Amino acid sequence: MPTSSLRDTSKVPPVLAHAGPLLSRYDVIFCDVWGVVHNGVTAFEGACRALEKFRAGGGTVILVSNAPVPKKRVADMLDSRHVPRSAWDDIVSSGDIALHHLEEKKFQQLFCIGPQDRDQALFSALLARSVELEDAEAIICTGLNDDRRETPEDYQGTLERALAKDLPFVCANPDLIVDVGGTLLYCAGAIADLYEKMGGVVYWAGKPYLSAYETAHRKAEGLRDKNVEKNKILVIGDAIRTDIKGAQNYGCDALFIASGIHRHETVDGIDLSATKLADLFTDDAPPAIGAMLELTL
């Protein structure tokens, strides 16, 4: 494997100590939630202050989350983690995108995968009935039923049966893993990825797909009551596969936050390692215009 010393280092984002000068170049921020604004347990105060100041200066912040629940539930979770409402203007959630897709398809019977208690906000919003796999027209997945004990491979048998029926799979959280207070857990995207590799059809409701950013863009323009050019939008996120790739797909600049899902690959002790950053941003990785350990002014 090539080392960073042999690679074109111009593709490695510069490490920034402060976000203020960068943020001042944009009118709108599409900001990831988990890993940037909070760690699954409590808010990152520096990130919240940065977003608050951006808004106070006339900017608009749309939180773009792969959470598999409607945005009201996301807002409630933010409140419980002490993320101030003054840090954001609106929310785009994968849960809402998935629900909209299911309504468009007019599915009447769905097989549900995911914790019924944690994701009840989505399951209770379904217009279709929850049925056994044999009677289903599609699968809706919000995550593993027990992400503390299960792995995606535990669903192999279920997916084989679904594939035999040619069932479409609606993934309400495209993330593969999530960082919960320092513990990495599998998400719905890991099951969807396995199904897709088996030959199944997957609808990915959220980042890095265009549906998430098109929705966020419409919300931002509605809030600002004017058109917003993509070069005035900054995507902030901690995941190369979803946030940074999504920014590239949509044609926006991206700021990479290293202390989230990739912290084990980028952090040396308590500091962001430029060498490790170079190893993460390989030649075929999506670009970022800057990298920070945490979002801070």
Query: Over the stretch 7-65, which tens digit does the pLDDT of each residue have?
Result: 456 789 999 999 999 999 999 999 999 999 999 899 999 999 999 999 999 999 999 99
Q: Are 156 and 180 members of one domain? A: yes
| pLDDT at residue number 67 | 95
Report long-range pairs for 163-166 (Cβ below 8 Å, ≥24 apart).
163/195, 163/198, 163/199, 163/200, 165/133, 165/134, 165/136, 166/201
| CA separation for the pair 88, 33 (Å, rounded) | 11
Q: Is 270 exposed, middle or buried (0-12, 13-18, 19+ CB in 10 A)?
A: exposed
Q: Are 104 and 192 members of one domain? A: yes
Query: What are the C-alpha distances in Å from 116 to residues 69, 145, 147, 168, 241?
Result: 11, 8, 12, 21, 27
Inform me whether the pLDDT recorded for 181 exceeds 80. Answer: no
| pLDDT at residue number 69 | 98
Query: Of 152, 184, 204, which residue is a domain's last?
Result: 204
The mean pLDDT of the chain is 95
Q: Is 81 among the domain residues? A: no
Strand partners, 254: 235
Q: Are 224 and 287 members of one domain? A: yes
Nearest to 249 by CA among 174, 171, 139: 174
Query: Of 204, 225, 241, which residue is a domain's last?
Result: 204
Inform me whether the pLDDT recorded for 110 exceeds 80. Answer: yes
- Amino acid identity for residue 98 in this structure: A
pLDDT-derived band at 183, boundaries 50, 70, 90: confident
Query: Of 169, 204, 239, which residue is a domain's last?
Result: 204
Q: How many domains does the chain have?
A: 2
| pLDDT at residue number 3 | 42
> Is 246 strand, coil or helix?
helix
Inform me whether the pLDDT recorded for 170 exceeds 60. Answer: yes
**CATH number, domain containing residue 256:** 3.40.50.1000
Q: Are 192 and 218 members of one domain? A: no
Q: Are 170 and 228 members of one domain? A: no
Q: Dump pLDDT digits (tens) for 234-287.
A: 999 999 999 999 999 999 999 999 999 999 999 998 899 999 999 999 999 999
Q: Is 74 among the domain residues? A: no
Query: What are the C-alpha distances in Å from 131 to residues 107, 141, 248?
Result: 12, 13, 38
Segments forming the whole domain that contains residue 117? 97-204
| CA separation for the pair 202, 211 (Å, rounded) | 14
